[in-house]
Structure 1
Amino acid sequence: MSSSGGSGNQTRGERVPAIERATGRSWDDWVAVFHAHGAGSLSHAEIAKLALATMPPGIENAEWWAQGVAIAFEQHVGLRVPGQSSTGSFRVSASRTLPLDRDAALEAWVNVHGATASHLGHAATDRRSSRTEKRSFWRFNLAGAGKVEVSATPAKDPAKASLTISQEGLPDGERIEEWRSYWKRQLAGL
């Protein structure tokens, strides 16, 4: 196993052991597969398709792991850095499990933070809620700092829910940890 490659490798170290455990394939083997297929010059979608096509049989959530392996490879070869999406923008997220059902968990966040005029100096606009069979959402835009989605999903214990704050569209990765800390403080206060 090797979580470091050539210079500039920024693959998140914690990601590699999880990939190896889930797929039953060493990181070095994954890298060899990608290099053998010229993945360094492929798009994210093509790399993810390659990962899925070469995923060992019987892997649970193979599509999800294929995405994770593709992202780790892109970081490994410098196509993106941690926190960067395939479009070049940056994203960050934080989550917490609460002892509430999904609608109550989302309502708790909205009651405390939903009317906040700005987050870290960025005006919140276009607030809206929605609900699907599996998740409840509160979304808003942040002027100059992308879009935020607060989602609540039932946990295995139906009396609990996972509340996740995801922010996409950051122009660079310089403030990712500041934003992560900010969202974690909001979640911790619930």
Structure 2
Amino acid sequence: MNEANRTRPESVAAIERATGREWSAWVALFEAQGAPTLQHPAIAKIARAALTDDLGNPDWWAQAIAIAYEQQAGMRVPGQSSTGTFRVSASRTLPTDRDAAIEAWSAAHGSLPEHLGHAVSSPRTSRTEKRSFRRFDLEGAGRVEVSATPKGDKTTLAVSHDGLADGDRIEEWRAHWKSLLAAL
């Protein structure tokens, strides 16, 4: 792998297992189609065209493969979005339904005025057919979405934090979100 490569080894192994294609073959495919000069959507389209429909969730895999390639090529680093900002996430499975999981988060952490020195603003909850949400903005540190997704008789509660200006504090933010999830 080249000097710019920041692809997580576990990502490469998962892609190879799921697709049955060696990572070097994916890299060759992307480079043959000029991927180093393309934006993320075009790279994801190349990946999707190379996947079969019988692969579970091929659109998700296409995104994952494109991101891994962009990391390989030095176009982004782990945690960085295609827009250049950074994101971090953490999750926990709870033995409850999705609405109760969001209520538990809100009761335990919804009144916190700040997170790691960044003021909370615009807290809101919403619900779709598949998930329940608690969202809020962090002054100078992006947006946070707490989502509750049913998994049988349990719920996965996930915190997704988008819009960080750089990757310097990703692990600090991850530890923060994990500690709040662990407190539930």
The TM-score with structure 2 as length reference comes to 0.98
**What whole-Å deviation, never above 9, does each CA across 1:59-81 have from its counterpart, x for those lacking one?**
11110000000000000000000
Does residue 42 of structure 2 align to residue 55 of structure 1? no
Partner of 1:112: 108
Q: State whether residues 137 and 151 of structure 1, in contact with CA within 8 Å, keep that contact through their aligned partners in structure 2.
A: yes
For 1:94, what is the secondary structure of its paired residue? strand
Give the distance between the partners of 1:136 and 1:49, measured in 2 at CA: 30
Structure 2, unpaired ranges of 5+: none
Identity of aligned residues (%): 61
Structure 1, unpaired ranges of 5+: none
Give the CA deviation at 1:8: 2.0
Q: State whether residues 123 and 143 of structure 1, in contact with CA within 8 Å, keep that contact through their aligned partners in structure 2.
A: yes
Give the distance between the partners of 1:124 and 1:13, measured in 2 at CA: 35
Q: CA RMSD in A?
A: 0.7
Q: State whether residues 127 and 138 of structure 1, in contact with CA within 8 Å, keep that contact through their aligned partners in structure 2.
A: yes
Give the CA deviation at 1:55: 1.5
Query: Where does 1:41-120 land on structure 2 (aligned, <5 Å)?
Result: 41-56=37-52, 58-120=54-116
For 1:22, what is the secondary structure of its paired residue? helix
Give the CA deviation at 1:90: 0.2
Q: State whether residues 135 and 153 of structure 1, in contact with CA within 8 Å, keep that contact through their aligned partners in structure 2.
A: yes
For 1:14, what is the secondary structure of its paired residue? helix
Give the distance between the partners of 1:184 and 1:62, measured in 2 at CA: 29
Does residue 178 of structure 2 align to residue 187 of structure 1? no
Q: 2:18 aligns with which of 22, 27, 41?
A: 22
Give the distance between the partners of 1:184 and 1:113, measured in 2 at CA: 13
For 1:60, what is the secondary structure of its paired residue? coil
Q: State whether residues 75 and 82 of structure 1, in contact with CA within 8 Å, keep that contact through their aligned partners in structure 2.
A: yes
In structure 2, what residue type is equivalent to 1:83?
A: G
The TM-score with structure 1 as length reference comes to 0.95
Partner of 1:165: 159
4+ residue runs over 6 A deviation: none
Give the distance between the partners of 2:52 and 2:29, measured in 1 at CA: 12
In structure 2, what residue type is equivalent to 1:172?
A: D
Q: 1:133 aligns with which of 112, 121, 129?
A: 129
Does residue 156 of structure 2 align to residue 175 of structure 1? no
Q: State whether residues 24 and 56 of structure 1, in contact with CA within 8 Å, keep that contact through their aligned partners in structure 2.
A: no
Give the CA deviation at 1:57: 5.1
Give the distance between the partners of 1:130 and 1:58, measured in 2 at CA: 33
Give the distance between the partners of 2:50 and 2:66, measured in 1 at CA: 12
Q: State whether residues 125 and 141 of structure 1, in contact with CA within 8 Å, keep that contact through their aligned partners in structure 2.
A: yes
Give the distance between the partners of 2:52 and 2:125, measured in 1 at CA: 40
Partner of 1:8: 4
Give the distance between the partners of 1:118 and 1:111, measured in 2 at CA: 15
Give the distance between the partners of 1:182 and 1:93, measured in 2 at CA: 10
Q: How many residues align?
A: 184
